[in-house]
Amino acid sequence: MINISGEVIDTLKASIRGRVIAPADSDYDEARTVWNATIDRRPALIVRCAGAADVIAALAFARSNGILVSIRGGSHNIAGSAVSDDALMIDLSALKSVRIDPQAKRAYVEPGALLSDFDHEAQAFGLATPLGINSTTGVAGLTLGGGFGWISRKFGVTVDNLVAAEIVTADGKWRRVSKDADPELFWALRGGGGNFGVVTLFEYQLHEVGPEVYGGLVVFPLEQADAVLPKYRELVAQSPDELTVWAVLRLAPPLPFLPEDVHGKPVIVLASCYIGPVENGEKMLAPLRTFGTPCGEHLGPMPFTAWQKAFDPLLTPGARNYWKSHNFAELSDATFDILTNAVRSVPSPHCEVFIGAMAGQTNRVPVDATAYANRDSVYTINIHGRWTEAADDEKCTKWARDMFAAMTPHALGSVYVNFMTGEEGDRVKSAYGPNYDRLAEVKRRYDPENVFRSNQNIMPAA
């Protein structure tokens, strides 16, 4: 642990409107805790910022004292990059303002906001933008990695809807970037992660969605996988952009609409969200029931904000998590076999695999339009290892790695950067594909000393 004198800390405190938290403070352990319980790191200092001026001051302090910098937004990141040993954490979690301009259909969002904060404000006007699949996710990290959600097939990934951003770069300068101002930096922010600075405000384009949508769950026994999964594949290929259906393979949680004898048994959950006219929803989702014999279903009109929270109970903070992820252009029967065999031997009742159906508008954007490069990904499969006891670390990570290795020959070779664990730095180039060299050049221009490296790091070009 770096030892920083009280006098030096007092100097920092004098320049901060927010709060400086040191290891001796009573709330230090709470302040350094992130969503993934496998991450247990001890920063040298935590600066809980109250505004952009605090970010500038904290960054200047870290650079002048030779301290590594990490950046905390909503802290939902699987790799835990918000916190690093002996670093100065720039903590943005108190910056939660969300302002909606319903006439211009714009949202102005601070980097500590969660999806629930965003949805609460935007849905008051029947507006939304593609942001994640559960409400406890942080807006900032999701956006900077590219971002996608239940309405991405219609409106693209999150960064396709990012209009502008305010950022403090490594030299301590505040900049407002857009397609017309610092366009190359703006391009890099749209998927390049936290490599280029500390974003203090995001501006998004909004779309008319809700306040009610039609959707829910249809659950099948895993024994019906040979019938259900190929029909699911056909449905995705034929669906309009307004309909998104994801498949989740796991042990059945004790949902109230499932018979008790199904609880804890392997199942396929088809999770659907239709954002067209609600009165057409029942007809649009009726085919799901024909894929097999469901063991339970819960479909109907619901608030979009409720659907955004539907999976929150399965992603609460404090559990131990390990993910592995692949992108796919298509799903073969062999891939389905790998998935179903792995789910039959899950090492924890909290483990699951989800098949995220992308395509639609996400595939129509040119690969070089944004730093996010996965424009040929029709499906993203995330292997979600999740458990509660440290004694289970080895068997749960092995389960995820073995399934990942088995699927590798069938995958595209690319990866969604937000689903990468901290050990996967060798996959960063795969995450950005043909855009990597351009990103490295932007990094050289705006962060030549690699100040922002507590992330899935893009090295500055030589």
Whether residue 377 contacts residue 325, with contact meaning beta carbons closer than 8 Å, is answered with no
Whether residue 69 contacts residue 452, with contact meaning beta carbons closer than 8 Å, is answered with yes
- Give the list of residues 6+ apart from residue 337 with CB closer than 8 angstroms, or none: none
Residue whose pair of structure tokens reads 């993934």 in the numeric block: 36
Quickly list DSSP for 288-306: GGGGS--SEEEEEEEEHHH
- Dihedrals φ, ψ of 178, to 5°? -160, -170
Whether residue 295 contacts residue 220, with contact meaning beta carbons closer than 8 Å, is answered with yes
Beta strands in 153-304 (DSSP E): 162-168, 174-178, 198-205, 207-208, 212-221, 243-251, 266-274, 296-303
Among 198, 178, 181, 200, residue whose Cα is nearest residue 190: 178
Q: Is 321 left (phi over 0), alpha (psi -120 to 50) or beta?
A: beta
pLDDT tens, residue order, the chain (462 aa): 677 888 888 999 999 999 999 999 999 999 999 999 999 999 999 999 999 999 999 999 999 999 999 999 988 899 999 999 999 999 999 999 999 999 999 999 999 999 999 999 999 999 999 999 989 999 999 999 999 999 999 999 999 999 999 999 999 999 999 999 999 999 999 999 999 999 999 999 999 999 999 999 999 999 999 999 999 999 999 999 999 999 999 999 999 999 999 999 999 999 999 999 999 999 999 999 999 999 999 999 999 999 999 999 988 999 999 999 999 999 999 999 999 999 999 999 999 999 999 999 999 999 999 999 999 999 999 999 999 999 999 999 999 999 999 999 999 999 999 999 999 999 999 999 999 999 999 999 999 999 999 999 999 999
Quickly list DSSP for 11-43: HHHHT-SSEEE-TTSTTHHHHH--S-TT-----
Among 245, 177, 176, 178, residue whose Cα is nearest residue 216: 245
Among 324, 340, 318, 317, residue whose Cα is nearest residue 396: 324
Task: Specify the pLDDT at position 1.
Answer: 67
Whether residue 382 contacts residue 328, with contact meaning beta carbons closer than 8 Å, is answered with no
Q: Indicate whether this model's pTM tops 0.85.
A: yes
- Give the list of residues 6+ apart from residue 203 with CB closer than 8 angstroms, or none: 106, 107, 108, 109, 162, 163, 164, 165
Which residues does residue 296 pair with via DSSP β-bridges, in sequence order? 219
- The amino acid occupying position 199 is V
- Tell me the three state secondary structure of residue 98: strand
Task: Specify the pLDDT at position 2.
Answer: 75
CA distances from 5 to 2, 22, 85, 119, 148 (A): 10, 11, 17, 43, 44
The token duo for 95 is 């910056």
Longest CA pairwise span in the chain (Å): 70
Whether residue 447 contacts residue 63, with contact meaning beta carbons closer than 8 Å, is answered with no
State the alpha helices, DSSP H only, in 318-420. Answer: 333-343, 393-407
- Tell me the three state secondary structure of residue 60: helix
- Please report the sign of the dihedral spanned by the C-alpha atoms of residue 363, residue 324, residue 200, residue 154: positive
Taking residue 256's Cβ as centre, other Cβ atoms within 10 Å add up to: 6
Whether residue 419 contacts residue 384, with contact meaning beta carbons closer than 8 Å, is answered with no
- Please report the sign of the dihedral spanned by the C-alpha atoms of residue 35, residue 40, residue 43, residue 46: positive
Whether residue 355 contacts residue 379, with contact meaning beta carbons closer than 8 Å, is answered with yes
Which residues does residue 127 pair with via DSSP β-bridges, in sequence order? 208
Task: Specify the pLDDT at position 423.
Answer: 92
Among 110, 165, 106, residue whose Cα is nearest residue 139: 110
Residue whose pair of structure tokens reads 């829910």 in the numeric block: 216
CA–CA distance, 165 with 177 (Å, rounded to integer):
5
- The amino acid occupying position 110 is E
CA–CA distance, 213 with 215 (Å, rounded to integer):
7
Residue whose pair of structure tokens reads 């944004």 in the numeric block: 370
Which domains are present in the chain? Answer: 6-91 (3.30.43.10), 98-209+434-446 (3.30.465.10), 212-419 (3.40.462.20)
Task: Specify the pLDDT at position 66.
Answer: 93
